[in-house]
Amino acid sequence: MARRETALQTAHGRLRQLISSEFRSGDKLPNERDLADRLEVSRATVREVLGRLAVEGVVTRTWGIGTFVHGGAERVPVSIGDVTALRDRITASGHRPTLQDAAVSRARCPADCAKVLGVEPDSLVWRVDRLFAVDGVAAAWIRDHLPLRFDGRDLDPSGLVSIDLDMFEFLASATGMPVRRAEIELAAVLADEEATTRLDVAVGHPLVTATQIGYGASGAALFHGHITVRTDVLTLKISRGGEPEPVPN
């Protein structure tokens, strides 16, 4: 296993060097067989290395079309290790967040979130769809579900169609209970037809999805959401650790 990983790392470095020295942004790379011949490795190794480079944002791969050198735009790092608004995380990175599209509606609760929110499957809940852009480029599509009422209070999330109001801010005001904890589960996926429409990518484009559940101080779930991210625009960063140690005088 260690030997195979070393071989992959070597092929990874050689292919990155080949791309940087012989190709420009937007160029189409040779097919896997030709790359395997040039690197003197198997096609399976080339395929795995190209997959890693796609996740890193070096190349983009489109099924049935080919692999292309990425356009070179800077990817924006955002932390998902806290409950800070995505808008504020993008701004903190020195970039401009906007909402390209947003809608709030009543919808039937999907089975996966009904259990989390403590409602009956297919009962009516609020659905909030938002498409965030970074510097004008579609970057993250977020679909959240939350109950119509919480702790005896009617919820009205219609203000979330504005970039000026974030889900965490809304819930703190509407329920009197700020989101204290968020659980996030990540998965790598390839863009389907709905994702291509939302995020302006080709079918098969590599994406990262995250299922997010926000909890209040009482431990009750306040919302259940799905986030789909273009990793060629945003990079998700998780930071862990305690308080910084004091610096001696």
Spatial separation of the C-alpha atoms in residues 117 and 129, rounded to whole Å? 18
Q: Are 46 and 36 in contact (CB under 8 A)?
A: yes
Positive or negative, the CA dihedral 218, 222, 228, 233 is: negative
CATH architecture of the region 2-69: Orthogonal Bundle (1.10)
pLDDT tens for the 249 residues of the chain, in order: 556 667 777 888 888 888 878 888 778 899 999 999 999 999 999 988 888 888 767 888 777 788 888 765 556 666 655 667 888 888 877 788 999 999 999 999 999 899 999 999 899 999 999 999 998 889 999 999 999 999 889 999 999 999 999 998 999 899 888 888 888 888 988 889 999 999 988 888 888 998 999 998 888 899 999 999 988 888 776 654 444 333 332
In angstroms, the CA 98 to CA 127 distance is: 20
76-237 topology per CATH: Chorismate lyase (3.40.1410)
SS3 state of residue 28 = strand
Tokens of 50: 């190209």
- Amino acid 185 reads E
Cross-strand pairs, 237: 79
Q: How far apart are CA 199 and CA 183, in angstroms?
A: 24
Burial label for 203, CB within 10 Å (0-12, 13-18, 19+), is middle
Q: Where in the chain is the domain with CATH 1.10.10.10?
A: 2-69
Reading the block at residue 87, the tokens are 């808008």
